[in-house]
Amino acid sequence: MKSLFLDSNLLVHLFFALLLYQASEVHAQTQAFELDFNPVSFPSQFLPGWYGNEVRNSSSRIFQEKGHGVNQSHALAVQPISTFNGELIVRLSVSEFTAPKIQFLAKSSKNGNGSRAAEVYFSWSNSLNENFSTPQILGSLEEFPNEEQEFRLFEIHMPDQFKGSDLLFFKLEVRYGNGAGTCARWLLDDFVFGDIAEDTLPPSVQMVRGFNDNEIQVEFSEAIDPVFSIIQLNYKLDGQEPDLVRLESDSLATLTFSSPLVHGEELDLQVSQIPDLAGNFIKDTLLSFRYHNPILIPYKSLVINEIMPAPKADLDLPNVEYVELRNNLDYPIRTKGMAWSNSRNTVELSDVWIDPEELILLVPSNQQQEMREFGTLIPVGSWPTLLNAGDQLELKGREGDLVDRISYSSESWDDPELRNSGFSLEVVNPFLDCEQSTFLKVSNSLFRGTPGSRNSVFDLSPDEVLPWVQEIKFLDSLTLQVQFSEPIKWSFEEIKNQPELDIDTVYLNEASTLKLELKSAAAKSIEYRVSLYSVLDCAGNGLKSPIATVILSTIPLAGDVIINELLFNPQSGRPKFVELYNRSSNYLQIGDLQLGNLDANGLPDQLKKISESGFIFPPQSYLAITTDTILLKQDFPKSSIGNFLQVTILPSYPISGGTVVLFSEKQELLEEFSFDEEMHHPLMRDPKGVSLERISINAPSNLKSNWHSASGVEDYGTPGKKNSNSFTGEFESQLITISPEVFDPEGNNGNTFTVISYELDQPGWVGTFEIYDVGGRIVKVLDRNAILGNSGMYNWSGTDDSGRKVRPGYYVLLVELFDLQGEVIRFRKTMVVATQF
């Protein structure tokens, strides 16, 4: 036990004086000097019933000494100087009492280094202005020397000559005493006049609560002795004495222990040998309680329950911004050390207790009086002004841990007119264990807000809708992001993946967005399966599909993505489409690629990003880009299971012809395809609703012979899937290849054309390609004396040079090749033009 040394005379004086005063049951006229003084002098009143000969706002003459009264309350102070003696007069209503007397606390306070005591005299009168009795000294001439004293109780009985008076005036004179230099300052607190009954009841313990991780507070039923109450021996917590006891107020003691206490543990507290101020000792007390650490405030235990970002004048609620908090715990908590912030500023909250289920309001300190009627307040000096259009608010604990966060935007009010009409935003269900930003609703209270009372939109109806993964993607090789359909909560330990990803940290980036930071980079173009069974929504519902797949895509290089099909002349009122093909072996991120056309000057125009949110394109797959996927699938039902992407708008691709261009994110031209209706099958009577398909993915897009009308067998278009006229066997082994060797120009039996391809060992050959019937007559000249590259192709649709359909039967392809050295190579190959069986 720590020793306590006090001057014995002072101890006895303080003990017995305070016993008589503070433990009394009072029916009296009182003044505690807590209200601000009105700086006016006699004959005006600076407080009701109180007069002074020179009252000021400054710390001289007669003034209010804030924080220097009993237990850091306010007190009345008088500073005598050589040219000023203070005079105080109090109006007393004698007729209200039977045997009244005066009690008050007084002390001196050191002022400079002088040796002058403040000499205090008192007198009485029935008149405010005259006939005061002969002044009597209070105590002695040295009762209030120029030094720091403790408050002491003084009691003055009313003289017999004034008994029976209805009204009486009591004067205190504080005079400049004898000595040298400055004079002591005199302080007065807790003035009482009236019938004062003696206290004979012992104190009792009213409440025990945790105060810190190693402290508890004990509240007594009345003011207790300031000396006995801080003796450690008088307390035992599970048999252990506290290391320190301090008296926070006249009836509240704080006990400090060397070791931290266990949150939620049942403890036994013994209290004994503590008297009240009248000398009544507490009965030996043993009580059990559950210790809760009030500064242990877990996530979502103190919630942001309502916000008023845009108050409005001349409405039922004051024109004051406020934020309402709710304590969802079953024990009281303290806000000391907590931080509250918006998107720009952070402030530390003052120490306020919040009871379980209590609502408390954060308000600007300069407007707190306007909000008093709505309950307990936490005034904030440097108020972070809430932005009307949107803001993010956060509560953090003493260690910087997140307690609650909520965001709002102009859309949170639903109706734009409500945003600036003084309506608050309220939380529907404060017990949901995750961020509530998306659940905010406009108050439907008649007052347009419910500060300090239950929210008007309060609703505990169960949520039975299962959440789902809206999007999962790699932001880069070390960061994975999962976007859910609603706010979620999660457990790090149960997030698994296959193949293995080396996860370092997992955190909520937003209420419904989970981020996974990796220790080592993920591999590209590998499909990862992520198990999210530990992810729940705010109501505890698991995911509709807890297994999600994700791939780290790559940026496409030139030649990876090609234009593969185009419908530029759809049926009336139906959508166009452009089809792309990924001919690489990688998963490609093509969201930033841009489709466009060429203007009249041949410059890129109307460039449109494929997807604002990104899009992963699997290898060797097709993608039809259109403005209406539903209608497009109706127009081409055999392709309805293909891959589609809907965009808001496509560049203009006129029926008369134009150019499709595909650009990279860096504005590099990846591919260009010029089209017109002449590229359709010559037997096509009406090309409306018929797409142009690319024949070979390896032949260049600007080769007209590499494009052909889609087959009628496939609805005249194959959006999102393999082309009906695709040619996959080119350039395999022979110099000249025909595929297929049998075809039907009318499309009744397979292909409507055949592809003649060549592959040469070197460029510079000159070639002629001609088709003859079995009678040796020339039917079609595909090309004459053409300078050839290493490879190329032609297609024949079964028509002659006049555009007429040839008869079914055998035909011969004659190819003649020669180079500059005079070498000549000739080929003959047979093909069949079929007809309907």
List the one residue out of 14, 200, 219 whose CA is nearest residue 107: 14
Burial of 510 (0-12, 13-18, 19+ CB in 10 A): middle
Cβ atoms 722, 697 nearer than 8 A: no
- pLDDT value of position 383: 94
**Whole-number Å distance between alpha carbons of 560 and 697:** 11
Strand partners, 441: 426
For residue 275 the two structure tokens come to 């008297």
Burial of 555 (0-12, 13-18, 19+ CB in 10 A): middle
Angle in degrees, CA 76, 189, 197, rounded to 5: 150
The pLDDT of 598-621, averaged and rounded, is 92
Give pLDDT tens digits for 222-237.
889 988 999 999 999 9
The pLDDT of 407-426, averaged and rounded, is 89
Look at 670 and 791; give whichever has higher pLDDT. Answer: 670
The pLDDT-based confidence of 779 (bands split at 50, 70, 90) is very high
List the one residue out of 725, 743, 741, 739 whose CA is nearest residue 798: 743
Amino acid at 735: L
Give pLDDT tens digits for 526-572.
889 988 888 898 888 889 888 889 999 999 999 999 999 999 999 99
- 158-189: b (≥16 Cβ within 10 Å) or e: beeebeebeebbbbbbbbbbeeeebbbbbbbb
Amino acid at 727: F
Cβ atoms 452, 368 nearer than 8 A: no
For residue 712 the two structure tokens come to 């009628």
Residue recorded with tokens 């009906």:
724
List the one residue out of 517, 540, 545 whose CA is nearest residue 529: 545
- pLDDT value of position 226: 87
Look at 15 and 438; give whichever has higher pLDDT. Answer: 438
Q: Give me the half-sphere count of Cα atoms (radius 13 Å) on the Cβ side of residue 448.
A: 23
| Model pTM score | 0.58
Cβ atoms 74, 66 nearer than 8 A: yes
The sign of the dihedral angle between the CA atoms of 62, 64, 66, 68 is: positive
439-445, long-range: CB < 8 A, 24+ apart:
439/487, 439/538, 440/406, 440/408, 440/412, 442/412, 442/413, 442/414, 442/415, 442/418, 443/306
End-to-end CA separation in angstroms for the chain = 114
Name the pairing type of β-strands 503-510 and 513-518.
antiparallel
- pLDDT value of position 539: 85
The distance of Cα 35 from the centroid of its chain, to the nearest Å, equals 41
The pLDDT of 490-494, averaged and rounded, is 66
The pLDDT-based confidence of 508 (bands split at 50, 70, 90) is confident
Query: Residues of the chain with pLDDT > 90: what percent?
Result: 63
Cβ atoms 31, 50 nearer than 8 A: yes
Run of H or E residues at 281: none
**Whole-number Å distance between alpha carbons of 411 and 420:** 12
Q: Which residues contact 819 (CB under 8 A, 6 or more apart)?
A: 764, 765, 766
Angle in degrees, CA 249, 250, 251, rounded to 5: 90
For residue 105 the two structure tokens come to 């606390």
The pLDDT-based confidence of 290 (bands split at 50, 70, 90) is very high
List the one residue out of 187, 179, 176, 59 whose CA is nearest residue 118: 176
The pLDDT-based confidence of 15 (bands split at 50, 70, 90) is very low
**Whole-number Å distance between alpha carbons of 752 and 709:** 9
In a 3-state reduction of DSSP, which class is residue 652?
coil
pLDDT score of 12 more than 80: no
Angle in degrees, CA 762, 764, 770, rounded to 5: 100
List the one residue out of 293, 367, 305 whose CA is nearest residue 336: 293
- pLDDT value of position 492: 60
pLDDT score of 728 more than 50: yes
pLDDT score of 241 more than 90: yes
Cβ atoms 158, 100 nearer than 8 A: yes
Give pLDDT tens digits for 64-116.
999 898 878 899 999 999 999 999 999 999 988 888 999 999 999 999 999 99
Look at 473 and 326; give whichever has higher pLDDT. Answer: 326
* Least trusted range by pLDDT, from 173-182, 554-563, 749-758: 749-758
Cβ atoms 789, 815 nearer than 8 A: no
Mean pLDDT score of the chain, rounded to an integer? 89
Strand partners, 308: 322
Check whether the bond before 43 is cis (ω within 30° of 0): yes
Phi, psi of 21 (to 5 degrees): -85, -60
The pLDDT of 196-210, averaged and rounded, is 89
Q: How many separate helices (H) and strands (E) can be counted in the chain?
A: 4, 59
Q: Which residues contact 441 (CB under 8 A, 6 or more apart)?
A: 425, 426, 428, 457
In a 3-state reduction of DSSP, which class is residue 128?
coil
pLDDT score of 58 more than 50: yes
Phi, psi of 146 (to 5 degrees): -80, 75
The pLDDT of 192-210, averaged and rounded, is 89
Q: Which residues contact 675 (CB under 8 A, 6 or more apart)?
A: 566, 568, 653, 657, 658, 659, 660, 692, 707
The sign of the dihedral angle between the CA atoms of 235, 215, 66, 185 is: positive
* Least trusted range by pLDDT, from 6-20, 173-187, 323-337, 765-779: 6-20
Burial of 566 (0-12, 13-18, 19+ CB in 10 A): buried
The pLDDT of 716-726, averaged and rounded, is 88
Name the pairing type of β-strands 588-589 and 577-582.
unpaired
Amino acid at 190: D
The pLDDT-based confidence of 169 (bands split at 50, 70, 90) is very high
**Whole-number Å distance between alpha carbons of 778 and 770:** 7
- Count the residues in the chain: 837
Cβ atoms 675, 707 nearer than 8 A: yes
Cβ atoms within 10 Å of 7's Cβ, excluding its own: 10
The pLDDT of 313-328, averaged and rounded, is 95
The pLDDT-based confidence of 607 (bands split at 50, 70, 90) is very high
- pLDDT value of position 5: 31
How far, CA to CA in Å, does 482 sit from each of 143, 401, 465?
76, 23, 19
**Whole-number Å distance between alpha carbons of 754 and 356:** 83
